[in-house]
Amino acid sequence: MLFRRRDRLPWWKKTLGWLWPRSGLKRAGQYLWHRVARLPGTPHSIAAGVASGAAVSFTPFLGLHFLMGFGVAWLTRGNMLASAIGTAIGNPWTFPFIFALTGQLGGLILGDSVATVFPAWSWSGLMDNPVVYLSAFLPIIFPLLVGGLPVAIVVWLLFYFSFKGLLTGYHAARQNRLQAKRAQKSPNEG
**What's the pLDDT tens digit per position in 24-76?**
778 878 888 888 888 888 999 999 999 999 999 999 988 899 999 999 999 99
Residues 6+ apart with CB under 8 A from 83: 49, 50, 52, 53, 66, 69, 70, 72, 73
- Residue pair 80/68 in contact by the 8 Å Cβ criterion: no
Cite the DSSP H helix spans in 90-137: 95-110, 123-128, 130-135
- Proportion of the chain above pLDDT 70, given as a percent: 95
For the cut 60, the answer to whether the pLDDT of residue 1 exceeds it is: no
pLDDT tens-digit profile of 62-113?
A: 889 999 999 999 999 999 999 999 998 988 888 999 999 998 999 899 887 7
How far does CA 43 lie from the centroid of its chain? 17
User: Residue 24 has what pLDDT?
Assistant: 77
